[in-house]
Structure 1
Amino acid sequence: MTLLKILIVDDEVLERRALTKIIANISDDLTVIGEGAPNGRIAIEMAKEHEPDIIFMDIKMPGIDGVQAVKEIKKFNRDVRFIMVSAFNTFEYAKEVMQQGVKEYILKPSRKQDICESLERVLAEISLDRKQREEQHSLKESLNRAVSIAQKEWVSSLITNQVHDMSFDEWSQLLGVEITSGYIMLFYLEPEPAADFSQMEKHNWYSWLKESLKTITSKQEVLPGPMTETQVPVLFLCKKTAGKFHFKTDAQAIIDNLSTLFRKEPFKGELKVSIGLPYQHANELNQSYHDAILALKQLLLIPNRRVLFCDKQGSTDMPSLSAMLEIEKQLLEAVRQGDVNQVLFIYDSFINKMRENGDLQGSIVKKSFDELFVLLSRMLHDLGISYQQTPVIEDSEEIQQMFEKGKTHLLKIVSHVQVWRMNHAKGMLHKAKEFIETHFADSLTLEQVAEYVELSPFYFSKLFKDRFGMTFIDYLTEIRIKKAKDEMVDQGKSLKEICFSVGYKDPNYFSRVFKKHTGLSPTEFRKAIVS
């Protein structure tokens, strides 16, 4: 235990000295503050200044007595513990301080044994209280980390159009406030000429962005997604209770406040923001992400422009950009499948579309490739594939040389994905199955298994179902029911014991799951195998 401060309050100097001497011999973890306090008024002042952990408080003192002093000190320090000391064995005194939460009461002249026993009880109470606070703090930190991970996974799933089962009603229940619409902003830190961000600088910028958005948004819930290079998608959920929602006005206010904060930071780049359109249904948020992507593509082509809202009606470049985006999506899917022939075919379409659009300036081609490989990097990250190489393409190079470099790098990525699909993913899934079969009786979650095999929960879930034809929870249930059926042969085990031994905490729920999978209740099944 850390050093605890004790204040002794008594109008008799000899009593204060005697208590100080006794406490000094009890433990090195205890220290008495100064010479103590001779009355309630000074006790209050010393308690404010020194913030003691324990106060020995005499009840009968001139001026402000002990009971009044306790009440005043409790107003600004709810955690301090009191040990009341009195020459009068009067219940009324004890009753008044008990109402303030004081539990310890000793008579004076105090015996050393009484003082030690009383202190031991208070120290045990302080120790327990601090342990509980540490556990609560640790739990809160773990919960915050889990929520942050879950938010990033959900936003990542959303922007890849893999989420169909989360409605605004469910978000409203989760957040405790009605959600009416949502939209995506893309935050992009464009490096200064000749600047190159280190991983630490990228991490610092990402952390700054998340913390800053928390401080400047009140009308909306903010869910930052994963960072790829220096690009971060952020989902904004608009709350009904915040009053009337003005999309562009509210979004612009967020950007203005963020830009003001950004200018105070030493980041070696320029903050650029594109904003997708708002949508009233959760399953449409993927479109808002694509709106923001399209707007960012335009934004990067406009010198000295930092913010761009997507406006389908007013943007003449939307059709061609939309077609390019569709080709990029097809290309990413072909890479994910490791299909070389399809990748080469779609890559040719990608190049031809650039030619059709007349985007054959070196700087434009370079930006197109940079954006494509950012998307590929994000996809590889979501798959759990470690691949750090990036092509070095300069805008001063010949256009055809850029195209060849892009193709060469793309084929390297496809080759890497093929190897991973054949070896790593297969091995990780079998490793996951073994882990499930070993730990099926624990409170096992998909996130725990995904972490064990070092895959993202989203991709592990998808890969597991693709590989084994069933979801993680279906497989876990299958294992548990099989183990339960095996254990039912032993008539010495109760059904309740079997329920707990295979990982279920509620016998009624276990019974429902068992009947759903076998057609019989546990009791009916046991009778059937016995007869």
Structure 2
Amino acid sequence: MYKILIIEDEQIERETLYKILHDNFTLKGLYMAKNGKEALDVFEREKPEIVLADINIPGINGLEVIRRIKQQQQDTSFLVLSSYNYFEYAQEAIRLGVSDFILKPYNIEHLKEVVDRLIHQHREKRKEQQQHDELLEKIEKITPVVENECLYAIISNENELELKRSLRLLSPHICSGFCMIMQSLTCAFHTTAMDTICENFKKQGYRCIKELFHGLQIFFILFERPIDQQEVRQLAGYIDGLRSEYKDVVIGIGPIVCELIKFHHSFDLARDRLSAQAQPAMKLLMEDEKSSEENAVNIATQVEVFMKAFQKMDEESLKKHLNQLSLQLIQEEKEQLYKDVSELIMSLKNSCEKQYPEIDFTKVKITPLRVTSSIHQEVPLYLHMQIHRLYDLIAEEKFRNTNLLVRHAIRYIDSNYRKQITLSDMADALQVSPYYISKLLSSSLNKTFTELVSERRVEASKELLKTNKRIKEIAYEVGFQGQNYFTKVFKNYTGVTPKVYKNTFENKE
């Protein structure tokens, strides 16, 4: 049930409204006020969900009362009743979020409908809020379980698919992170301290999961976006501060890794570094002595990956690799970042010139990368623009030869339709990506791969249906996996079943 406040200076009007609402609605409370000050006092005391207000009331006018109530309780609903049909009043009421505006003299049935609607809206809002609260409560209950599963998935070195499944429950955006392990030299590490440390990482904007495991206090700090050198320095400063605060505790720090499958590696190194001589946290976060070559950007390998994507016109692969490379480059010092990016773009352009001598790549003017504001935005954007300039030229040239590639696709279908071929099989044979050839067939022929294969099989079956072969035998011979499906496809293309088609020729004989 709900509370309603009536604000009306005319006594008869006020009492009439009271009687209408009292007789037609079951309410928790129904209150009256004859001026603005009294209305604010009643509201402060009773907190009604719905307010019916006249605009022209003594003292504080109705619109000002609404404004002040809104400041106290945003979700209050207001119904304005007024004898004044002033446009500016209506405008101001709309700005204040008034639910409805009724001119006097009002129709009682219409008034009842509006109030009923407002009550229904509040009932729905309350229901939604209750569901939201229940959901939050459920999330709060399962979050420790999910965090525990994620941590153990990392420690036990689960395969990448299993690790992704676990982390997705925590957050679908986790892209990198590192492990930190603390070990007390004197007594057990208090769980309150672990909670405090974890909360401090969260206050810095990172995910943090923790667990006490065989006397080790294990923390995984997870990032939902790429972080730059300045943020790494801030993290390192906080960790160095922990060393000063907890003098009887040794801290092992794993390197920041940019692939989920390497989280276990960060854990291994953090554990190994517990017994090593203490080094600055910044150095440990950025160094990976077990795989320093692996962490460095290998220009030749990067160029090879991009060239394969260019050759197959594989835009999905191109996008995915650009994102991975950006994550890796962002962690470098600026000078190294500039050097690697410049070398990569030049090497890629040179490879393109060798692979595609018929294309004029001098059109691509390479401008050096210079980060001026956000490294998270500027590095990916720069790579995307420079690499797509090369890719677009290659795509343009390939589209000039569209008819040739389409002919190759049709020839492949003609030669292989009897087999159980797939779009990926044909794409591999033509050395392009499935996405590219599918898009090409659709734009050139307005047909899908499946439609082209089905058409070819139906055409082949027509000739065989003129022979003495059985329909089931023909279905398998032209590549269909069953007579029923063959019948369905054949009728879809010809309008008749294979049996009717076959009988037509037998009757002619």
In the superposition, the TM-score normalised over structure 1's length comes to: 0.43
Higher CA-based Rg: 2
